Structure 1
Amino acid sequence: MKDILNAILAADAAPEDFAALPLPESYRAITVHKDETGMFEGLSTREKDPRRALHLDEVPVPELGPGEALVAVMASAVNYNSVWTSIFEPVSTFSFLERYGRLSPLAARHDLPYHIIGSDLAGVVLRTGPGVNAWRPGDQVVAHCLSVELESPDGHNDTMLDPEQRIWGFETNFGGLAEIALVKSNQLMPKPRHLSWEEAACPGLVNSTAYRQLVSRNGAGMKQGDNVLIWGASGGLGSYATQYALAGGANPVCVVSSPEKAEICRRMGAEAVIDRNAEGYRFWKDEHTQDPREWKRFGSRIRELTGGEDIDIVFEHPGRETFGASVYVTRKGGTIVTCASTSGYLHQYDNRYLWMNLKRIIGTHFANYREAYESNRLIAKGKIHPTLSKCYPLQETGQAAYDVHRNLHQGKVGVLCLAPEEGLGVTDPELRERHAEAINRFRNV
């Protein structure tokens, strides 16, 4: 691994130099263990501690198959799916690996007693398998997390509809929170040249998800002038939704949980910000009963901020805690678009406000290949910016996941894998200088 890192850090290493580097027999990776899936039984979600379940292990380098690439990972990031994996909710990810392993002899590599997690990376291609023509050793890349087989016609209009669609590093093995990752070559995209390794690693999953959810015709199809309610607007996902709303001429109404997070939204350019804790919104009277009076109070507050207008699009991802309010505050004919359920999967809402007002609920999940490419292109052009707030070394990934689980973070939390320090990997300093303030907006908050 030392020779690989030295080649990456050298300014003059050529593709043939990387191709000539011997691969190590093993590498360090963050894993969960199959024999520990019951370790949190009897505990509430909040009581489950990712630091107990995440391990730094030495694992063998996987076999490289057709259409695949091995990537030296300089940096990665923590997503909510990393948290879900680490606390074995809503199910153990080993059920995904077992199911995938039954698909083919090549897929059987993924069914192991350990799961290498992580759905983001920035790094350098080390090897490519048969049939790979677009990439070669030495290429600097980021990876999106869509893994598909594309052997069914269902996936050829929208790859997210492929029956064998999976999220790499969550529903597959050999993920990005490691020194080496195995990906399908069509997951690879050019690394934005003006960003450091850790900055380039953090947008992948959340940026593409927000793009499909808000901008794409597969999501809400946001247009200029739309009022967009964004839950968790300074978080890993919401921070990109806020940027897309602003860049697309919409009016984001940002919901956050602290004055510090409200200030971040204002720094991004948002004017309508609601601190839900400061204003005391409690959408549930108890575990089983919602409070429609709070929905109405929330709707009134939104109209104060929008000049009397209701919400056109709700950017939903908290789920159970907020979904009733989201359906209520959406305007007649408006859209609630949901991509997750971080506060619970069983949503409850008053259907009268949906059907009688012709509202729509749209489910979206990650992004197809084209959407992932377009969203990465916007990062590379400096139109959308990474929201990295803090970075941990690989051996402290458990703490990084704990921070995300407890909502102690802003924006995205990064992880240095092979990169020995932050700030490396920038090859377009002029573009970086033009956007330095935006790139560092989430730092030291």
Structure 2
Amino acid sequence: MEIGLLLGIFAVLLFIGFPIAFSLGISTMTYLIMADIPLTILPQRFYAGMDSFVLLCIPGFILAGNLMNAGDITNKIIKFSDALFGHIRGGLGLANVGGSMIFGGISGTAIADTTSIGAVMIPGMAKRGYDKPFAAAVTAASSTVGPIIPPSVPMIIVGSLTSISVGKMFLAGAIPGLLLGAAMLATTYIISIMKNYPKGEKFSFKRLLLEGKAAFWALLLVVIILYGIIGGIFTPTEASIVASLYALFVGLFVYKTLSFKKLPIILLDTVLGTAALMTLVGMANVFAWILASENIPQMLANGILSITDNPILVILFINILLLFVGSFMETIAALIILFPSLLKVAEGVGMDPVHFGVMAVLNLMIGLTTPPVGVCLFVASEIAETPLKKVIKALFPYLACNLIVLLLVAYIPQISLWLPSLFK
């Protein structure tokens, strides 16, 4: 009875629009009271969920993303992408996707990508003759690429939940991320031809070199992070500190677009963002502990395997479940609650843990743009000042291409595992 009440309250609160952390907190508190479990377990499990060295890199990467954004690096990345794609029909839409692939790979979060790139690109695309719903849709859809391309906050969470190496997860996400980006570029180009969207400036190699030089420092950051982690020079947590110091140095002394006056606001934004994320991690851990104590993960695993033990069908069922959950629940919470139990199911049919981790993260990233609770959808719709209904309609081609990429990643393990295998 208590577990039914837990899940029922959580579902109702989520449905009426409560923040996910509060929905988890209220439902877990109710369960503990009804089950006559001492409430001291709540702070204990809450803290245990955050007590991980790997999770220390989250504030570091959030700070690095904020510093790069405040230092006007986002505009430089967009200009570089525009120089590369602008001469093609629908060039600004292509630049939007390209910018997301670069910036998202630095910030590691889809929301930061949607907010920062959307604030520049959506009004810019509207001025150039693009439909606002299309501008919002391409921004929301492309923002999901960033957390697949390393560094990635969801993949850090996967590493903290299991013994999977974060460095391996970063490497495994690179090719699927590029594949997803390429699929979105192709979709954007086809839509742009069908709707006769405008071309930008004529291609200029000189302009590409100039914009590439301006964006060089941003691109170099991704290289430093990856090389440092893979080469064993520093851990992901140390990499986040290096990234923050690097972004601070570039903003203050290379581009000179940052000032010491801006730092208190940047630090405050980082603290608020980290606090919100870590509260979610803590509450999700308490929720996951209750589910584990009630043996729900084992029941879920047995339920899937009782239907079939065919690897193709099991992987399909897992994807359907994650897509459904991802359309309602925040990525981090979904990973903490479901990943460990679903990993056992995946390993039971011979799936590599790294491969499964990439598939799960990609799946839940797609959920960020899936109605009814796709967070990136709401953010992009708000920036575009366009009804959500119109943005969702414009998003359908991107959802279709994303699902095709998801199936390729799910059923062709080498897309994820080839790169990590080179660095054994």
Question: Taking structure 2 as the reference length, what is the TM-score of the superposition?
Answer: 0.25
Q: Which has the higher strand share?
A: 1
Question: Taking structure 1 as the reference length, what is the TM-score of the superposition?
Answer: 0.24
Q: Which has the higher helix share?
A: 2
